[in-house]
A and B are shown apart, each in its own frame.
Chain A
Amino acid sequence: MAAHLSYGRVNLNVLREAARKELREFLDRCAGSKEHEVEKMFTLKPGSLPPADVKNIIFFVRPKLEIMDIIAGNVKSEVKQRSHRDFHILFVPRRSLLCEQRLEEQGVLGSFINIDQYILDLIPYDGDLLSMESESAFRECYLENDQTSLYHAAKGLMTLQALYGTIPQIYGKGECARHVANMMLRMKREFAGSQNQILPVFDTLLLLDRNVDLLTPLATQLTYEGLIDEIYGITNGYAKLPPEKFIQKKQGEGGKDLPTEPKKLQLNSAEELYAEIRDKNFNAVGAVLSKKAKIISAAFEERHNAKTVGEIKQFVSQLPHMQAARSSLANHTSIAELIKDITKFATYLNYGLSRIVASEAFFDNLTVEQEFMTGVDTDKVNTYIEDCIAQKDPLIKILRLVCMQSVCNNGLKQKVLDYYKREILQTYGYEHILTLNNLEKAGLLKLQTNARNNYPTIRKTLKLWMDDVNEQNPNDISYVYSGYAPLSVRLAQILVRPGWRSIEEVLKMLPGPHFEERQQLPSGLHKKRENRTTLIFFLGGVTYAEIAALRFLSQVEEGGTEYIIASTKLINGTSWIKSLMDKLEAPPF
């Protein structure tokens, strides 16, 4: 059992266990025995398979043609070496005729003893978080008109409903949301008659297209977790951090051998302290950490008060927990310091020069973002962006800013847009013309048409900018971006109270249709209860700051809604933009 998956109102361990069972069954089929000792795991690479003393080789892959060619190569080289291994292939999340056909064309289909699918659409990441880990979902949907990931999303939602009951109400906004809802309703018809007799755990499903809210991921996340992701990146629940700050300070050792390997930390709610601070605005983290430090040292001091054997025994029994808490505190203090170095959130003393530059860059960048979000000078070329290009700052940073300006201005004037594009091409290379083209196709960059800039209306109606933000004790979701309230989460919030009918006008300004569907429940499964649970599905990715904002809503609203969050992928502005870029490289001369 993974404890961190079951703390919430919805026990996601049920899903995890169902998935585990299926995997075990497949391994049973492959190995033919009850013991499936996985000897080694390798990343798929072209050429020959790495040596290992094993009988069974299982390819655990996404159904993509490119991957099939690699597998075919692997198998052929094995055949050449006359190895007597058994091959199996497990497609995640489902098998594909196209891929099997490709294997057949390559003449290796017959080499596989088992070809099966591992239906794992939604992977539980935390007690309230599910991800499909499909990084290209946004690109496929909006650039390539390939809705494969949406099909998987719909299937994943069907699996969820099979385990947690039919979701009676479905709301959605956006083309993709509409498509997913249609597929779900259709799939339900396919199972017509066999009614799900489970009492529904979710009351509402809210499907949101990422392109309804293109702005939020572009903004720099300012929660603790969001910043870790922005600066170091969190992949599969792990962050790799620079090692310097994690060295155990021992006396007598002059810091001789600095570790070069990055420090890898797992980040989820299983860690008590992390669960407490991850969704806080970074400015509020320091206070918590120092408070925690005091509590922990006080707890360790307790040992002096322990007089009787019983008291000592009790103290000792708490030691493991306390030690874990202390090491957790040490880790997060180090991470917080790392982030502070870069963001200069607090006035901290004694910094090296390079850090000043870095922190100022962060601050200046943030200032520009906030100007854009509040609608300051979004219609002309921004000097900061210009300077950054001139100094050839990372391209993604530039793209994030330019896109943000475009989104906040409902498109840029021809002159401004062309200027930026030209600057980017001249500075970073003409090959980026395809990337720019992609950004335009996705609506992140656009030419302002005659239509009025409607962003200010949207901002005002949805209260996207809050001047009186309280970072320490937030009273509104805008704390996650120190002022900007993520549009997506606002939509979710308004849906609950007072309802979308109150913002019809704004909904019409946002792309794609909005809709409501009801799914009939078998009689006897209707329930009336105070606490409602909403599953919110972001089609095209969700950021940690948005998750934080939703968790804030789960906690704050009295007798309100608890949110379970699902997404095609956990993203941030950088990873998102990266997924939309086309890399062109010329062959070596």
Chain B
Amino acid sequence: MVFMTANWHPLGDAFYRKTDLYEMGWNIGGLRDCLIAAAPYGGPIALLKGSQRSERSHSVRPVMEMYTSSGVPLASFLWKSGIVVDIGWTVSDYLLCIQEDGTVLIYDILGNYCRHFNMGSELSQNSVTEAKIFHSAYRTGVAILTKAYRFSVVTNIEDQKIWRLPDVPGLQTSGLSCWTVISQDRQTKLVLASGRNIYVLDSDSCTSVTVPGLDPDISSYLHMSASFNYKYLALYTNTGCIWMGTSNLKEKLGEFDCKFHAPPKQMVWCRRPRSQQPSVVLMWDSLLLVAGKSNESIQYNLDDELYLVPELDGVRIIGSKSHEFLHEVPATCEEIFKIASMAPGALLLEAHKEYKKESQKADEYLREIKDQNLLPTAVEQCIEAAGFEYEPETQKMLLRAASFGKSFLSNFSPERFVTMCRELRVLNAVRDYTVGMPLTYVQFRQLTVQVLIDRLVFRRLYPLAIEICKHLKIREFQGVSHVLKHWACFKVQQKEPDEDIAHAINQKLGDTAGISYSEIAAKAYECGRPELAIMLLDFEPQSGEQVPLLLKMKRGQLALNKAIESGDTDLVYTVVMYLKNEMNRRDFFLTLRKHPVALSLYRQFCKHQEQDTLKDLYNQEDDHQELANFYVQESYQEAKVEVRVAELQKAVDEYSKARNEFAAKATEEQIKLLKFQRKLQDETDKPYVDRSLHDTVYSLLLEGSHRHAEQLYKDFKIPDKRYWWLKISALAEKNDWEELEKFSKSKKSPIGYLAFVEVCVKHQNKYEAKKYVSKVTPELKVKAHLLVGEVEQAADIAIERKNENDLNLVLSRCNQSTDRSLVERLNKARSGANKK
């Protein structure tokens, strides 16, 4: 480990190191004459060979090749489309190929064509000369420059909204030397250099900017480059001076004079997040130069054609033979590994080494850390440093030291240590040559596990993705289920029998949470395999999800079954309405008949919306009872008595067919009443229709039409009791006391005589009421006396009858004005009754 610092080079306040990532697995002559694009975050590499326009002959078509970062081939195909200006990767590992005619073709990581879009129709004449692909958090954009010096930008290739940027004055004459895109905070700007002028171009304006702190002698800018996060910008001038500053061109961070007048082939930022110093990596044919801010530099001589890939925390250098990573040594690593470092982490590492040697020095080192109370810091440092190291051996060494130190701490949370171990294991797995994703820890944290899993899924590395999900204990529906779903969607495209595929998918997926079988089925349907789709849908536990796809596949009957199973009536309605439109009426009704739940729901719908259909439904089912009810309902919609009678007559027929004799008879009675009322109405010009029989008789009695009342009483066989009640109530209401008395004597009252007392009292005639009290049966007499206000008589009878309830009743009507002695007598009688 003495050699940890062997490849470190000082620059400014920090060190830089170049570590080997891979020996490239590809077998290519060199990167010359290729269009090359490498995706950030250790993504794939695309090479378009033989595409340079100048060398293009019509007989040889260019070849598009795709590799992992370790040079393992992913795909290769002949390029048959138009002339490609530039290629680049999106944030989600799709390859964009921008053609001269403005068409952008999109391929997936395995070389499958996905789709295309166009950067604007006016491009047909003005062909694209340059293109740049830029990223922001979750999207990828494309900016193009046409022959006529016009810029167009698509900020998000998903929505493909094209912005034509305003013209820049003077470009036609003084030309454009270099430009770049700045994409920050949802805003996209272009910075461009024309002669000695720098312009900032956004969607509606073009501003000329002065670069602060730059030698005024400069006549042109040869190169410019924005940092990975677009916060910084580097400019390379014709004098060989590199200006480093913020991307808003307001602040200068440093300047480096390399004195080369030839423009570099590539210039990229090399800066880790939160680092204090700016540095830019420049590449010429045989020289790689890391430029710092105060004219310091690190220089590497080159013997191979290289390609620089800027990353969040450094620069990857891809050559035909090897793949390296150049970055600033993180502060923690520096503290631990710097020669003669006394940092707590360094001491802990030493202590652990001595401990392994079984030397007592271990104790001395530990003591030194503990004396300063720095053991937690030391452990933290070792854990953190492990994350920054690429070699598993170094990681292990640091983690072991951390674990050693941790065992001397009582309440140190193990979480960070455990998480680091887990995540490093994942990183080492994806960094493996066969996978070829040289992600650093910093990049991994920025990328998130979700995206990493997606990337693995895109490469069809399903088992690895699942292992990672399990290892990191990611919640199922974001992790394992998600991967399995992708696997299944891939599986349905395989040329195997439907049954086998469905079985295989179900075997693997089972009831895993968050698996949407309907999504997989939709994919199968999309791939032209409806039978497979139906098989898969059968596994879907959520009926709500099954139904829409089944309808799309025109499997209405099956959809109806599933909808009913779900219990979701709205879903049933949806299918029923669909079937109604799709089927002829006969078949529709027959289908409904097989599904009572759907039938009742449809009936409900018809009740409110389509009365006529309702009738047809009942007819078809021979549901005479409901049909009769329907006609009764209909009859009430009608104003004309004749029409109503006709409707009711239909109801009578249907009730009879339904063997509901009571209802048939009652409805016949109703018709009879209606007709009678109608006649009466014509004769007397008073409204009778729509009154009940009871009310009709009552009004007739009130009006004195005793003959008519009598007729109804007989015709409709009104029970005597009710007729008597009707009559005495009506007579009392019209204060016809004479007639009432006469009636009371006509024959023995079927309702007794208390009723007479009550109706009189109700119409405030106690005098008349008293006439009937004597006729009341003994057991009700107390009540009768009380009703007419004769408390004393009531009391006498109650006392005589010795009935407790009666006594209580009388007592409850006694008040302060009642004779004291009466109350006493009552109480005495009550206690007597109680004893009995």
| Chain A interface residues (CB < 8 Å from chain B) | 63, 65-66, 94, 96-98, 101, 144-148, 150-151, 154, 179, 182-183, 186, 189-194, 344, 347-351, 353, 356-357, 386-387, 389-392, 418, 421-423, 425-431, 433-434, 437, 582, 584-589
Residue B693, interface by CB 8 Å: yes
Closest Cβ of chain A: how far from B656's Cβ, in Å? 14
- Docked CA distance A194–B481 (Å): 11
Q: How far is the CA of A98 from the CA of B605 in the complex (A)?
A: 10
- Tell me the complex Cα distance, A390–B633, Å: 27
Q: How far is the CA of A193 from the CA of B515 in the complex (A)?
A: 10
Cα A389 to Cα B689 in complex, Å, equals 21
Asked if residues A192 and B511 are in contact (CB atoms below 8 Å), the reply is yes
Q: Which residues of A contact B632 (CB under 8 A)?
A: 431, 433-434, 584
Complex contacts, A101 vs chain B, CB 8 Å: 574, 577
Q: Which residues of A contact B644 (CB under 8 A)?
A: 586
Distance of A443 Cα from B644 Cα, bound (Å):
30
User: Which of the residues B514, B570, B721 comes within 8 Å of A194, measured between beta carbons?
Assistant: B514
Q: How many Å lie between the Cα of A357 and that of B755 in the bound state?
A: 12
A392 (CB) vs chain B CBs: closest residue? B694
Given A193-B514, A426-B669, A589-B639, 6 other A-B contacts at CB below 8 A? Answer: A182-B567, A183-B567, A356-B813, A387-B751, A586-B644, A586-B689
In the bound complex, what is the Cα–Cα distance between A390 and B726 (angstroms)? 7
B741-764 CB contacts (< 8 Å) to partner A: 751, 758, 761-762
**Known contacts A96-B570, A390-B721: A194-B477 contact under CB 8 Å:** yes
What 0/1 pattern do residues 499 to 526 of B give for CB contact below 8 A with A?
A: 0000000000001111000000000000
CB distance from A479 to the nearest CB of B (A): 22
> Does B808 make an interface contact (CB < 8 A)?
yes
A154 near B567 with CB under 8 A, answer: yes
Q: Is B670 among interface residues, defined by CB-CB distance under 8 A?
A: yes
Task: Decide yes or no: A192 and B513 within 8 Å by CB, A65-B605, A586-B690 being known contacts.
Answer: yes
A584: B residues at CB distance < 8 A: 632-633, 636
Q: Tell me if B666 counts as interface (CB < 8 A to partner A).
A: yes
Residues of B with C-beta under 8 A to A182: 567
CA distance A353 to B637 in the complex (A): 43
Question: Which of B476, B567, B787 is the one whose CB lies under 8 Å from A193?
Answer: B476
Cβ of B409 within 8 Å of any chain A Cβ, yes or no, is no
Q: Which 6 A-B pairs have the closest CB atoms?
A: A193-B513, A145-B600, A390-B725, A430-B670, A429-B692, A427-B694
CB distance from A341 to the nearest CB of B (A): 13
Distance in angstroms from B694 CB to nearest chain A CB is 4
CB closest chain-A residue, reference B725: A390
Q: State the CA gap A431–B636 with chains docked (Å).
A: 9
Tell me the nearest residue of chain B to A383, going by C-beta. B721
B639 near A586 with CB under 8 A, answer yes
Q: Which residues, 566 to 581 on B, are CB-close (under 8 Å) to A?
A: 566-571, 573-574, 577
Known: A65-B608, A194-B477, A392-B694. A147 touches B597 (CB 8 A): yes
B320 within 8 A of A: no
| Cα separation A348 to B811 with both chains bound (whole Å) | 9
If A192-B511, A433-B663 touch, whether A66 touches B608 (CB-CB below 8 Å) is yes
Contact in complex: B811, A421 (CB < 8 Å)? no
Contact of B692 among A387, A426, A582 (CB under 8 A): A426
Chief secondary structure at chain B's binding surface: helix
Quick check: A192 and B568 within 8 Å, CB to CB? no
Alpha-carbon distance A350/B811, docked complex (angstroms): 11
A interface, by DSSP: helix, strand, loop or mixed?
helix
Tell yes or no: B662 within 8 A of A by CB.
yes
Alpha-carbon distance A473/B669, docked complex (angstroms): 54
Which A residues are in CB contact (< 8 Å) with B726? Answer: 390
**Chain A contacts of B689 at CB under 8 A?**
586, 589
- On whether the beta carbons of B667 and A433 are closer than 8 Å, the reply is yes
Q: Which residue on A lies nearest to B717, using beta carbons?
A: A422
Whole-angstrom distance between the alpha carbons of A473 and B666 in the complex?
51
Q: Which of A144, A146, A154, A344 has the most CB of B within 10 A?
A: A146
Cα A182 to Cα B569 with chains together (Å):
15
How far apart are the CA atoms of A96 and B569 in the complex, in Å? 9
User: Is B609 an interface residue, CB under 8 A from the partner?
Assistant: yes
Residue in contact with A146 in the complex, picked from B600, B666, B758, CB distance below 8 Å: B600
- Tell me, yes or no, whether B85 is within 8 Å of chain A by CB: no
Question: A426, B716: Cβ atoms under 8 Å?
Answer: yes
Question: Which chain A residues border B603 with CB–CB below 8 Å?
Answer: 144
**Contact of B666 with A430 in the complex, beta carbons under 8 Å:** yes
- CB neighbours (8 Å) of B206 from chain A are none
User: Does A192 lie within 8 Å of B725, measured CB to CB?
Assistant: no
B662 & A434 in contact (Cβ 8 Å cutoff): no
Asked if B719 is an interface residue, CB under 8 A from chain A, the answer is yes
Q: How far is the CB of B352 from chain A (nearest CB, A)?
A: 38
| Number of residues on chain B facing chain A (CB within 8 A) | 73
Asked if B604 is an interface residue, CB under 8 A from chain A, the answer is: yes
A65 to B608, CA, bound (A): 8
CA distance A387 to B808 in the complex (A): 25
Q: Which residues of B contact A66 (CB under 8 A)?
A: 608
Q: Would you call B814 an interface residue if the criterion is a C-beta within 8 Å of the partner chain's C-beta atoms?
A: yes
Contact of A98 among B476, B570, B662, B816 (CB under 8 A): B570
A390 to B570 Cα, complex, angstroms? 46
- Assuming the contacts A191-B513, A192-B541, A585-B636, asked whether A350 and B815 have C-beta atoms less than 8 A apart, the reply is yes
On whether A63 and B570 interact (CB within 8 A), knowing A144-B600, A584-B633, the answer reads: yes
Pull 23 A–B residue pairs with CB atoms less than 8 Å apart, ordered by A.
A97-B571, A97-B574, A186-B567, A192-B513, A192-B541, A193-B477, A193-B511, A194-B514, A353-B787, A390-B726, A423-B719, A423-B722, A426-B718, A427-B692, A427-B694, A427-B722, A429-B692, A430-B673, A433-B667, A434-B629, A434-B633, A584-B633, A588-B639
Residues of B within 8 A of A151 (CB): 567-569
Known contacts A98-B577, A390-B726, A587-B637; A430/B692 CB under 8 A:
yes
Interchain CB contact under 8 A, B639 and A189: no
Q: How far is the CB of A310 from chain B (nearest CB, A)?
A: 47
Instruction: Return A138 CB to nearest CB of chain B, in Å.
Output: 15
A426 touches B570 (CB 8 A): no
Chain A contacts for B718, CB-based, 8 A: 426
Q: Contact: A425 with B513, CB < 8 Å?
A: no
Determine whether the beta carbon of A148 is less than 8 Å from that of B812: no
Over the window 464-496 of chain B, the binary record of Cβ atoms lying under 8 Å from chain A Cβ atoms (1 yes, 0 no) is: 000000000000110001000000000000000
Q: Is B155 an interface residue (CB 8 A)?
A: no
Q: Bound complex: CA of A441 vs CA of B758, how far in Å?
A: 38
Say whether A386 contacts B721, CB under 8 Å: yes
Contact with A along B75-112 (1 / 0, CB 8 A): 00000000000000000000000000000000000000
CB–CB A349/B567 < 8 A: no
B729 within 8 A of A: yes
Docked Cα-Cα span, A348 to B662, in Å, equals 47
Residues of B624-643 at the interface with A, using a CB-CB cut-off of 8 Å, are 625, 629, 632-633, 636-639
Residues of chain A with a CB closer than 8 A to B639's CB: 586-589
Q: How far is the CA of A154 from the CA of B566 in the complex (A)?
A: 11
CA distance A192 to B719 in the complex (A): 66
Complex Cα–Cα for A147 and B567 (A):
8
Would you call B716 and A437 a contact (CB within 8 A)? no
Of B513, B662, B716, B726, chain A has the most CB atoms within 10 Å of the CB of B662
| B567 in contact with A430 (CB, 8 Å) | no
- Do B673 and A145 touch across chains, with their CB atoms under 8 A apart? no
Provide the bound-state CA to CA distance between A344 and B805, in Å: 14
- Quick check: is B596 within 8 A (CB to CB) of the other chain? yes
A392 to B695, CA, bound (A): 9
Highest count of chain B CB atoms <10 Å: which of A63, A97, A347: A97
Q: Tell me which residues across on chain B come within 8 A of A390, comparing CB atoms.
A: 721-722, 724-726, 751
Asked if residues A194 and B812 are in contact (CB atoms below 8 Å), the reply is no
Partner of B815 from A98, A349, A387 at Cβ < 8 Å: A349
**Cβ of B692 and Cβ of A144 under 8 Å apart?**
no
Taking the complex as formed, is B601 at the interface, i.e. its CB lies under 8 A from any CB of chain A?
yes
| Contact residues of B between 597 and 632, Cβ < 8 Å to A | 597, 600-601, 603-605, 608-609, 625, 629, 632
Chain A residues whose C-beta falls within 8 Å of the C-beta of B577 in the assembled complex:
98, 101
A423→B691 CA distance, assembly (Å): 15
Contact of A145 among B570, B596, B815 (CB under 8 A): B596
